[in-house]
């Protein structure tokens, strides 16, 4: 059997936020997206640590944007999911779906 690393839960959240945001994915909208959908405050430091890890694995790539005054002259870093990253998310989704199936304890709940 092939052994491989699956995405962790927070890594998966970040990847899904990136896919959802498309071209406009940088720190602030990524953390807002996760906060709004999960209902929990997210530390931007954790988002960046995760993005750096995903970039090292080749699942995400990034580019620097233009510096703006409201950011104290600091540039935005835009992130996007690579083809390898997209494949990884799909494989995680398939694995999770298989694990989810046939669990009566997890059916019908709202939270």
Partner 1 sequence: MRSSHPPIVATWLLEHLRSDKENESLIGDLMEDYGRGRSNAWYWRQVLAAIVVSSCGEVRAHVVIAIKAMVTGWAAQFMLQFVAWGLLNRFHLWLPLHHMLLLFFGYGIAASVTWLILWTPIWIGSGWFVGGLYRSRLASMVLVFSASVLIWKLLRLPWTIHLLFNAAGNSRYLPELVVELMGLILPSVYIVLGGLLAGISKRDSSAQRAQIMT
- Identify whether the C-beta of residue 62 lies closer than 8 Å to the C-beta of residue 77: yes
Give the shortest CB-97-to-partner 1 separation in angstroms. Answer: 30
CB of 91 to partner 1, least distance (A): 25
Least distance between partner 1 and beta carbon 79 (Å): 10
Q: Point out which span in 8-16, 41-49, 85-93, 98-106 binds partner 1 (CB under 8 A).
A: 41-49
Binding-site member from 8, 9, 24, 28 for partner 1 (CB under 8 A): 28
Count of positions on this chain that bind partner 1 (CB under 8 A)? 23
Candidate list 37, 49, 58, 87; residue touching partner 1; CB under 8 A = 49
Helix, strand, coil percentages (3-state) for the chain, rounded to 5, are: 60, 15, 25
Q: How far is CA 62 from the centre of its chain?
A: 13
Could you give the angle at the alpha carbon of 13 between the alpha carbons of 7 and 17, nearest 5°?
A: 125
Residues 65-94 that bind partner 1 (CB under 8 A): 67-68, 70-72, 74-77
Q: Distance between CA 104 and CA 31 in Å, rounded?
A: 32
């Amino acid at each position: 059997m092939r052994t491989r690393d699956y995405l962790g839960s927070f890594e998966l959240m970040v990847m899904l936020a990136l896919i959802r945001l498309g071209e406009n994915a940088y720190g602030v909208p990524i953390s807002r997206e996760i906060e709004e959908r999960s209902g929990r405050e997210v530390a931007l430091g954790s988002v960046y640590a995760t993005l750096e890890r995903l970039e090292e694995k080749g699942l995400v790539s990034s580019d620097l944007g233009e510096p703006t005054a409201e950011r104290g002259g600091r540039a935005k870093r835009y992130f996007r999911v690579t083809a390898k990253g997209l494949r990884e998310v799909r494989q995680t989704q398939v694995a999770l779906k298989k694990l989810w199936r046939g669990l009566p304890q997890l059916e019908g709940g709202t939270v």
